[in-house]
Structure 1
Amino acid sequence: MTAVVEAIDLHRTYRTTTGTFRRRSIDVEAVRGVSFEIEEGELFGLLGPNGAGKTTTIKMLITLLIPTAGHARVLGHDVVDDAHWVRERIGYVFGGDRGLYERLSALDNLRYFAELYGVDPKRQRARIDELLELVGLEGREKERVEGYSRGMRQRLHIARGLLHDPPVLFLDEPTIGVDPVGARELRQTIAGLKDAGKTVLLTTHYMFEADSLCDRIAVVAKGRIVAEGTPRDLKGSVSEGVVVEIEVYGIEDSTVELLRTIEGVNSVAVEDRDQAQVVVVQADVGREPTHDVLARLDGVSLGRVTTREPTLEDAYVALVTEQPVAVDG
């Protein structure tokens, strides 16, 4: 089967400046050799922290950025050489409140964008009605967008991106900033896109969201894919082992690096929680690293110490902080 979306060793370098008094130009590698394929009808997730390169990757795939190196194809067509052809057959939805006219109703917004997208006038009203039902906004379409919740606006964004019935849809962190109820409704809408036969690429930094929606996931950190596979594949990487959490009040980077040298420890991360930091240490099954960890934290002000079984979030943290070799699932 031919892949619908192909990223082949994609690179993207930005030129920026640094320094307060003496400015100098530097090159920043936002994407460093990203490769993956998405099959027809698949919901594929790009998971990673802010600044990992997810949005830059998606912008290259939708023709908004030209790759510094590498190639990308959508439906078999190169995104640089056949940019116009690709744009006519993809939809793009981004997180946030931009892109809608707040003083217009949802219906008027969709009518306006239908004209921009060249939707057949004879087909417009039927298409808009279909999309309002798909995203759960039927009965609310005559209300001004300024009165919509953030979740409702995001569902309207999805309707807008589907007006021209594209076979491929790119969703860039669509649930960011949405309240839990709105986010749940939005995830139901996204799941419905796959049922409607769309091929979807979803970027997110929410592990549970990718777990519930995606057929396959690629985890991105510092511009590289550090793991790829099904949600079950990623869960399997932490199905065994132990996690030690220790509250600390100030810790040096050198101490964190020292913890990583403990035998059996495969991941160390520091998280900010309330008034303290928490050192999260993951160790192999059969290892009990608490004594060795505390010994290396001698001189550091400590709080509560707990030991627990690892979770899916722990796998994510290990992947994006330790950057192991990519696993093809």
Structure 2
Amino acid sequence: MVRGIIATDLRKAFRIPRGLFGKPTEKVAVDGLSLVIPPGRVTGLLGLNGAGKTSTIKMMATLLRPTSGTITVDGLDTVADARAVRRRINLIAGGERMVYAQLTGRENLHYFGRLYGLPGGVRRQRSEELLDLVGLSDAADTVVERYSRGMAQRLSIARGLINDPDYLLLDEPTLGLDAPIARDLRQVVAKLVRNGKGVLLTSHYLAEVEELCEHVYVIAAGRHLTEGSPAMLTADAGCHKTVTVAVPDPSAEVAAAVAQFTARISASIVEERRDDGTLVVSLVHPDDIAGPLVTAIVAAGGAIIDLTVTNPSLEDAILAIADGAHPPAGVAP
């Protein structure tokens, strides 16, 4: 048996009606996408809004049927074997109501535990453990309609773990969460992966992706653009370091030295003159230029009162990758 969630040539198109007599049009959300979510790893799925991330996750969760292509979970087809697949997976989606407002927190977990066939004793123990995990033990008997948004999202996280899934699908899971709860969720995810669970994560908080994901797929208009580790994607996208220096009251010689250095290495430059006369220079270049830049300034008689080096982020890489992608005709942006 091949372990993992495997999507092959996945396509999802929606029919969009055009009035009473108009001919329906087709909106393609996912177009020929293939990816793998193995056990024991957090896999990221990234792209700008409208890239097809949520449609992909919902097909994996059996909430949408693919128009074509296949998805298997440990060899089980998400369409033909949907019931068996649901026992192995669960979905946590930030911003969507995934619990019942008229039930208490504890009642919600008991209800979903019964849907997954958990025996009474296991269901009760699991519910209490999860309520404690997400910090809702004191609100366990309060109806959810009285919960804040953050509390409701924490309960959704507990619901997503109630069946102890082999694979967890996380679609913006920390949306609306306070920083301590978001941190706790990341720690839970890391522990699940250490215990062999497979996780697929989409998130606009790319620091979260860099912290958790070993491998990331980047998509646009439902199509695969590139994949790799966060560090590899950042390097391959051609994103550059930024070196910023502050030079107090520079002489004409120092200003000329900076200009000559910038021209020699073909760096992009931004200059700012502060009210106290300090010149702040930011250079963007793929190489490590901090040392040579300082040497050039000091050799011209200047001094450095501040120096910072900013490494490119995964956000920089995603924007650069997406900027180079153009959706094909007939594909929704």
Same fold (TM over 0.5): yes
SS of the residue corresponding to residue 104 of structure 1 reads coil
The structural deviation recorded for 1:199 is 1.4
Please tell me whether the aligned partners of residues 239 and 317 of structure 2 are also in contact (alpha carbons under 8 angstroms). Answer: no
Residues 286-322 of structure 1, C-alpha deviation per residue, up to 9 Å, x if partnerless? 543579xxxxxxxxxxxxx975564332111011221
Where in structure 2 are the equivalents of 1:155-304 lying within 5 Å?
155-237=154-236, 241=240, 286-288=265-267
Match of 1:48 in 2: 47
Distance (Å, rounded) in 1 between the aligned partners of 2:150 and 2:184: 8
Do the aligned partners of residues 106 and 24 (structure 1) sit closer, same or farther apart at CA in structure 2, a change above 3 Å counting? same
Distance (Å, rounded) in 2 between the aligned partners of 1:82 and 1:22: 38
The structural deviation recorded for 1:239 is 6.9
Please tell me whether the aligned partners of residues 237 and 321 of structure 2 are also in contact (alpha carbons under 8 angstroms). Answer: no
SS of the residue corresponding to residue 87 of structure 1 reads helix
Match of 1:35 in 2: 34
Q: Give the gaps of 5 or more residues in structure 2.
A: 243-263, 271-280, 285-309, 327-333
Match of 2:69 in 1: 70
Distance (Å, rounded) in 2 between the aligned partners of 1:82 and 1:286: 59
Distance (Å, rounded) in 2 between the aligned partners of 1:287 and 1:12: 45
Please tell me whether the aligned partners of residues 29 and 221 of structure 2 are also in contact (alpha carbons under 8 angstroms). Answer: yes
Letter in 1 for 2:324: E
Letter in 2 for 1:314: D
Distance (Å, rounded) in 2 between the aligned partners of 1:97 and 1:38: 23
Please tell me whether the aligned partners of residues 97 and 150 of structure 1 are also in contact (alpha carbons under 8 angstroms). Answer: no
Do the aligned partners of residues 196 and 158 (structure 1) sit closer, same or farther apart at CA in structure 2, a change above 3 Å counting? farther
The structural deviation recorded for 1:178 is 3.4
Match of 1:323 in 2: 325
State TM-score, norm by structure 2: 0.71
SS of the residue corresponding to residue 321 of structure 2 reads helix
Please tell me whether the aligned partners of residues 241 and 287 of structure 1 are also in contact (alpha carbons under 8 angstroms). Answer: no
Residues 222-261 of structure 1, C-alpha deviation per residue, up to 9 Å, x if partnerless? 1112121112212323576367xxxxxxxxxxxxxxxxxx
Distance (Å, rounded) in 2 between the aligned partners of 1:25 and 1:115: 41
The structural deviation recorded for 1:153 is 2.1
Do the aligned partners of residues 146 and 182 (structure 1) sit closer, same or farther apart at CA in structure 2, a change above 3 Å counting? farther
Q: Please identify, of 158-167 and 145-154, the stretch whose mean Cα deviation from structure 2 is larger.
A: 145-154
Where in structure 2 are the equivalents of 1:53-132 lying within 5 Å?
53-132=52-131
Letter in 1 for 2:64: L
Do the aligned partners of residues 27 and 104 (structure 1) sit closer, same or farther apart at CA in structure 2, a change above 3 Å counting? closer
Letter in 2 for 1:288: A
The structural deviation recorded for 1:180 is 4.0
Please tell me whether the aligned partners of residues 150 and 182 of structure 1 are also in contact (alpha carbons under 8 angstroms). Answer: no
Distance (Å, rounded) in 1 between the aligned partners of 2:73 and 2:96: 27
Distance (Å, rounded) in 1 between the aligned partners of 2:52 and 2:123: 36
The two structures, once aligned, show a CA RMSD in angstroms of: 3.0
Match of 2:9 in 1: 9
**Higher Cα Rg: structure 1 or 2?**
2
The structural deviation recorded for 1:77 is 1.0
Distance (Å, rounded) in 1 between the aligned partners of 2:217 and 2:182: 22
Letter in 1 for 2:323: T
Higher helix fraction (1 or 2): 2
Distance (Å, rounded) in 2 between the aligned partners of 1:145 and 1:91: 20
Please tell me whether the aligned partners of residues 47 and 217 of structure 1 are also in contact (alpha carbons under 8 angstroms). Answer: yes
Residues 13-70 of structure 1, C-alpha deviation per residue, up to 9 Å, x if partnerless? 1221458x98442222111111111221211111122211011111211222222221
Residues 270-300 of structure 1, C-alpha deviation per residue, up to 9 Å, x if partnerless? xxxxxxxxxxxxxxx9543579xxxxxxxxx
Distance (Å, rounded) in 2 between the aligned partners of 1:185 and 1:103: 27
Letter in 2 for 1:35: S
Residues 175-226 of structure 1, C-alpha deviation per residue, up to 9 Å, x if partnerless? 2233444433433333333244321111223322211111211111111121
Do the aligned partners of residues 156 and 197 (structure 1) sit closer, same or farther apart at CA in structure 2, a change above 3 Å counting? farther
Distance (Å, rounded) in 2 between the aligned partners of 1:2 and 1:78: 12
Q: Give the gaps of 5 or more residues in structure 1.
A: 244-284, 292-304, 325-329
